[in-house]
Every structure is written in structure tokens, then in C-alpha cells.
Amino acid sequence: MLTCYGVELASRLFLGTAQYPSPAILADTVRASGTEVVTVSLRRETAGGASGGRFWELIRELGVRVLPNTAGCHSVKEAVTTARMAREVFATDWIKLEVIGNHDTLQPDVFGLVESARILSEEGFSVFPYTTDDLVVAERLLEAGCKVLMPWCAPIGSAAGPLNVRALRSLRAHFPDTPLIVDAGLGRPSHAAAVMELGFDAVLLNTAVAKAGDPAGMAHAFAGAVEAGLEAYRAGIVEPRETAVPSTPVIGQAVFS
């Protein structure tokens, strides 16, 4: 079980709700993924334009927990205000905090992120900060009150997969007891398996599933990959070597007559 802010989760796959062709496909996808947490933007359109009451009703029917997000916010003021509104609308203290600093890369403004995280943590929010893979920023976020970190592995929507495995490894090594959820940039199930094999606790993704030819099928594939990666990490992965090592030890010599 993964525990985030005191809530136990069996599924290690968090899903975004944007860009699906229709609300029905979103619903099928959420079910196929087995996810227990979906992230919802207060500011952006959700599946197929479903909005307001209709969208809320759909989420309720699916029985999943909502992680509201501040997607589209570019300043501390915007992010904090959006988080406060999300708390009212979705009746939860959970917030996926995004403060975007660059239009091209959608890279987080880590200074604004830390400041917003501090304000919101002091107000009792359970903050899930969307951050880079920078170690020092991660430390500052923990000092600001975050109990979970969400480092990217590549820019949002890029589907590029883990770009800096060393940095991800380093984060895992430095924060062994903090739930680390890779958020953004995963493009295919093997990417999800790869970060879970590094010991990450969960993944959050949207584009790779919502934009797939068959979103429900892709979500199911991601769910399997996340489980496989987790199981492999727990089982103890053999590290790569520079030289060959015979996998079959030879005792004595074969005798041919």
C-alpha cells in the first residue's frame, strides 16, 4: 500500500482527466486503469468538454478520489487562489500544486512552487508539488511542509520518458521515506515500469493514455507496467555489468567419446 497524507492507496497509478475524446471514454479508462486517484483541473476543460455538475457526477460514480490541480497557474497568487477555490469546489485538502515558469517547456517555477507550498501547507492543505528532479528544490519543498513529492521525468505532454535517470535515482536515494510520484512526461508503459524499477512509489500520467488510440487499453497496459516495475524493484534487480559473467557455471570438463 502507498500512503499519501494518511490515505492508503492500493493502486500506484494516478490519472489525469484532460483531453479524452468523451466522458464515456474517460470513465472506461479510469475503470480499466484501476486507479484510485484522478487529478482534475479547476481551470481547464476536462474530458470531451464535460464540465461542472456533469463531470462531478461522473467522478462520483467512478468512486475515485479527486486530486485537484492548479494547472495553468503561472504565479504564486494564481496558484494559491486556485487551490483555495479547489478546496471549496472539490471538498478536499489535497492539491496538486503546479506553478509553471516557462511556456515552452512547462517547467515548474520552483521558487514560486516552494513559496506557494509553504503558504498552502500552513493553511492545512496536503500539497503534492509538481517539481523538477532537483535535489535542493526537493529539500526546500519538504521544509515547506510537503509530505509527498512529484518530480517530472520529462516535460508535460512530451511523452519522452525518463530523461535524467541519475537525478531520479539521486532523489530516491536521498528521500527513502518520502512518497515520490513521477509526474509528467511518461509516454509508454515501459517508461512507467522503468521509474518504478528505480524505486519510485507511483506515477501520474495523462497524455499517453488520453491521446492513445484506445485510452482504456493503454491505461490497462500502464497499470500492468506499474505493477511489474514495483514487483521487480522489490525482488531486487541485478545491476548491469561491464563484462560478461557466465550464467551457467561450468564444473569440470565434458567428456566426449
Residue list 122-181, contact with ligand DXP (CB under 6 A): 130, 156-157
Q: Checking DSSP bridges between strand 2-4 and strand 7-9, what pairing results, if any?
A: antiparallel
DSSP string, 142-153: HHTT-SSBEE-S
39 binds ligand DXP (CB under 6 A): yes
Q: Please give the DSSP secondary-structure letter assigned to residue 19.
A: S
* Among residues 186, 193, 198, 219, the one that binds ligand DXP under rule CB under 6 A: 186
Min dist. Cβ of residue 152 to ligand DXP (A): 7
The answer to whether the CB of 96 falls within 8 A of the CB of 72 is no
Shorter beta-carbon distance to ligand DXP: residue 29 or 207: 207
Residues annotated as catalytic are: 96
Nearest distance from C-beta of residue 159 to ligand DXP, angstroms: 7
- Cβ of residue 88: shortest distance to ligand DXP, in angstroms? 20
Phi, psi angle pair for 35, to nearest 5°: -65, 150
Nearer to ligand DXP, 103 or 241 (CB): 103
**206 marked as part of a ligand binding site:** yes
Among 29, 35, 69, 126, binds ligand DXP (CB under 6 A): 69
> Annotation-wise, does 236 bind a ligand?
no
Pick the closer one to ligand DXP by CB: 160 or 165.
160
Interacting stretch for ligand DXP, rule CB under 6 A, among 26-34, 108-116, 183-191, 213-221?
A: 183-191
Q: For residue 207, state whether it binds ligand DXP (rule: CB under 6 A).
A: yes
For ligand DXP, the closer CB: 134 or 244: 134
Would strands 37-41 and 65-69 be described as parallel, antiparallel, or unpaired? parallel
Of 71, 76, 181, 221, which one interacts with ligand DXP (CB under 6 A)? 71
Q: Which residues pair with 68 in a beta bridge?
A: 40
| Long-range contacts of 23-29, Cβ-Cβ distance < 8 Å, separation of 24 or more | 23/47, 23/48, 23/50, 23/54, 23/55, 23/58, 25/215, 25/216, 26/50, 26/58, 26/210, 26/215, 27/58, 27/61, 27/62, 28/215, 28/216, 29/209, 29/210, 29/215, 29/216, 29/218, 29/219
| Residue closest to ligand DXP, measured at CB | 16
Residue 132 near residue 108, CB atoms below 8 Å: yes
Give the whole-angstrom CA distance, residue 211 versus residue 71. Answer: 18
Task: Give the residues lining the site for ligand DXP (CB under 6 A).
Answer: 16, 18, 39, 69, 71, 130, 156-157, 183-186, 204-208
Instruction: Tell me the binding residues.
Output: 157, 184-185, 206-207
